[in-house]
Amino acid sequence: MVDLDRLSAAYETARCDLLAETVTAGHWIGELSSSPLATATAISALTLAERHAPTVEGRFADEPRECRLSALIMVSLRWLARHQNADGGWGDTDKSLSNIATTMLVRAAFALTCVPANHPGLLERADAYIKAQGGRRALRRRFGKDKTFAVPILTNCALAGLIPWRQVPALPFELACLPQRLWKLLRRPAGTYATPALVAIGQTRFFHGKPWNPISRLLRRATVDKSLKVLEGLQPASGGFLEATPLTSFVVMSLASIGRADHAVVLKGVEFLLASVRPDGSWPIDANLATWNTTSAINALDAAGEDVSELGCLDWLLACQRRETHPHTGIQAGGWSWTDLSGAVADADDTSGALLALAAWRKCDPSDQPEAIDTAATGGVRWLLDLQNADGGWPTFCRGWGKLPFERSSSDLTAHALRALHTWRSRVNGDSHATPHARTDLDQRIVAAIERGLRYLQAQQHAEGHWTPLWFGNQYRQDEQNPIYGTAKVLAALGDLKQLETPEAQRALEWLMSMKHANGTWGAPAGADCATAKRMASVEETSLAVETLLKYGQTPAHEAAAQQGLKWLVDAVEANRHQEASPIGLCLGKLWYHERLYPLTMIVGALGCATRRLLPRPVATPAAMPVAIEAAKT
């Protein structure tokens, strides 16, 4: 058994550290890791925007602005040079292994700027790494049939003169001019997140290498202005497409290279990049994960038995719900996205997290804005129901045919959605504003959706007993998957739905046990030796596994494994290692990131669950959470 006094002290330390991260409005923002990939694309975008900027009598029309761009580019290049890995490549974060995609983008940035790298042998080592990996062939192996990220990378390389344009696939940017209702007939997701890249990169490829077919050439030329108008309508107020540095950078560099540096889309995109750069000259892949971090923290504190209604961020969370149909996806209002910023898109994971957080709030204080919470939750439930794919699973952004990552069902998203629907089923059916027929219809829809979702999860379980997620990974595994995360999320859903006695749940628990290493950690691949297991141990994955075994374990062996994991987590807190983030995030197109709040939130969930179970505490007084937050900040 873990020492209970040490456990209690470790939980209070982690809890205070998490509460100290709240901002004035009461919610969490967090901080995404700086990214060589994002920084490289931003450098390329700013370089081309500067190179093709309007001139008057041989001088830049806005010389002070161009001077700022030049100075920033130099600072950012030095940041990239300092973060080259020993093998000559670059990874997506400062903790990531090298990969072919990021290394090619960094190499293109240095080639575009024509600035000598003030690090002996830097470019030679980069070229050697790219050659050893297989160059373009390695890029194709990494992304397979998914062109949404491979083509932008090749375009960046072609703009830098590293590859000929004939090696860059053409994109049908004219499709952006079609009405959204026709996209389904073409079996394409309507107005997807990829539309900005489709238009900007498609036009760039067209102008740098026009098709030989005269009909195709005329058709595309005729739709240039109209598709640009569509692109302009998709750009959010912030200027950043999906609030993402790489996507915005690809749009800016592409349009600037074809003489559109003074176009409104480029100008707004440049302002977004200038506003989001960090003092050291680096960029993260996205602005922030404020909504996701906030709902994750609320749900972790709720699992620990805290009174989350005292946090003071309810109004902010309710305001984050999307009120209008989004131009990217064409999906109706009602969902939540990962951030409160204007460029984000509602998605299944964040909507499920928000619904669970609102349920936790209602449980702690039923009198706090009950109508507003129930109305928001009803809208979120309907939004989730409308999103379910034909195979019974849930995709990220929009229903589809499984061809692209964001439209493909996944186990982690499906499990999260099932928990949210199950949690709110009784409440939304009791909505006083709904007619009896509407309540019955909604109830039937929820029941049917849950049954289909469970069948999907059953079909997706691997023979070994685990599930793989879409949005989280483990860079040390050969397949870069993170079955610890996926299995923990599915077991949480099976636990909520009273399905732990099923063969699927039992196999999953035994598989989870098999992945524990001798030192009580999870994170390293199966079969890793002691030194490797220690080096690759992850606060995030160990916390997830421990919380899962504490909640859903059914044997003494499960309890013993959870206890051993708890000891390691307590040691981590005492050694101040509980905030060491791992590159666990795996974004669209295999973009790795780590988030400063992930290990803290997950360890609070695990230690809080343990203290609630092993050290029963009285219900916190109403002033407990505000006092704790103030104490944590001071």
* Residue pLDDT, tens place only, 457-498: 999 999 999 999 998 999 999 889 999 999 999 999 999 999
CA–CA separation, 347 and 17 (whole Å): 29
pLDDT given for residue 621 in this prediction? 40
Which pLDDT score is estimated for 590?
80
Residues 6+ away with beta carbon under 8 Å from 576: none
Weakest-pLDDT range from 186-190, 425-429, 627-631:
186-190
Name the β-bridge partners of 380.
none
Place of tokens 């397979």: 144
User: DSSP 3-state assignment of 595?
Assistant: strand
Its pTM surpasses 0.85: yes
Q: Cite the DSSP H helix spans in 477-623.
A: 483-496, 503-514, 530-536, 539-552, 556-574, 598-614
Please provide the distance, in angstroms rounded to a whole number, between the alpha carbons at the two ends of the chain: 34
Residue 577 neighbours by CB distance under 10 Å: 15
The CA dihedral of 370, 301, 513, 565, to the nearest 10 degrees, is -170
Q: Mean pLDDT, to the nearest integer, of 373-402?
A: 91
Percent of the chain with pLDDT over 70: 90
What single-letter amino acid sits at 122?
A: L
Backbone dihedral angles phi then psi of residue 536, each to the nearest 5 degrees = -95, 0
C-alpha to C-alpha distance for 105 and 538, rounded to whole angstroms: 29
pLDDT digits (tens, 9 = 90+) for 61-91: 677 777 888 899 999 999 999 999 999 999 9
Reference 488, options 504, 512, 510; nearest CA is 512
Q: What CA–CA distance (Å, rounded) separates 596 from 556?
A: 34
The SS3 of residue 304 is coil
Q: Which of 179, 178, 158, 177 is nearest to 168 (CA)?
A: 158
Residue 619 pLDDT: 41
DSSP lists the bridge partners of residue 473 as 481
Which residues are registered as beta bridge partners of 414? none
Q: What's the pLDDT at 552? A: 96
Q: 472 to each of 242, 290, 337, how far by Cα in Å? A: 19, 17, 17
Q: How confident is the model over 145-183, as pLDDT tens digits?
A: 778 889 999 999 999 999 999 999 999 898 888 876 666
Answer yes or no: is pLDDT of 44 > 50: yes
**What is the full DSSP assignment across 413-426?**
HHHHHHHHHHHHHH
Q: How far apart are CA 70 and CA 47, in angstroms?
A: 8
- pLDDT on residue 53: 81
CA distances from 553 to 350, 509, 546, 549, 613 (A): 27, 7, 10, 4, 13
Q: What are the Cα distances from residue 297, in Å, to 131, 334, 335, 467? A: 44, 22, 19, 24
Of the CA atoms within 13 Å of residue 267, those in its CB half-sphere come to 8
pLDDT tens for each residue of 432-461:
445 555 556 888 999 999 999 999 999 999
Strands (E) in 206-254, as ranges, are: none
pLDDT at 618: 46
What pLDDT, on a 0 to 100 scale, did the predictor assign at position 54?
A: 73
- Report yes or no: 47 and 252 within 8 Å, Cβ to Cβ: no
Is residue 538 scored above 80 in pLDDT? yes
Answer yes or no: CATH 1.50.10 is held by domain 36-276.
yes
Side-chain-facing half-sphere of 589: CA atoms under 13 Å = 21
pLDDT in the model for residue 259: 93
Whole-number pLDDT of residue 277: 97
The gap from C-alpha 629 to its chain's centroid, in whole angstroms, comes to 27
Q: In a 3-state reduction of DSSP, which class is residue 175?
A: helix
**Nearest residue to 55 (alpha-carbon basis) of 70, 44, 69, 66:** 66
Scan for tokens 């489709």, then name that residue.
Answer: 198
pLDDT at position 622 is 37
Q: Do domains 4-32+288-633 and 36-276 have the same CATH topology?
A: yes
Measured CA angle at 208 (ends 206, 211), to 5 deg: 45
Would you call 498 exposed, middle or buried from its count of C-beta atoms within 10 A (0-12, 13-18, 19+)?
exposed
CA proximity to 581, closest of 538, 521, 547: 538
DSSP 7-55: HHHHHHHHHHHHHTTB-TTS-B---BPB-HHHHHHHHHHHHHHHHT--E
4-32+288-633 — its CATH code? 1.50.10.20
Q: Where are the domains of the chain?
A: 4-32+288-633, 36-276
Highest mean pLDDT among 35-39, 139-143, 326-330: 35-39
* Structure confidence by residue, pLDDT tens digits, 217-261: 888 899 999 999 999 998 999 999 999 999 999 999 999 999 999
Share of the chain above pLDDT 90, in %: 73
**Dihedral angle, C-alpha 332, 338, 343, 347, nearest 10 °:** -30
Q: In a 3-state reduction of DSSP, which class is residue 591?
A: strand
Residue 259: name the closest of 326, 179, 204, 337 by CA. 204
Mean pLDDT of 544-548: 97
> Amino acid letter at 241?
F
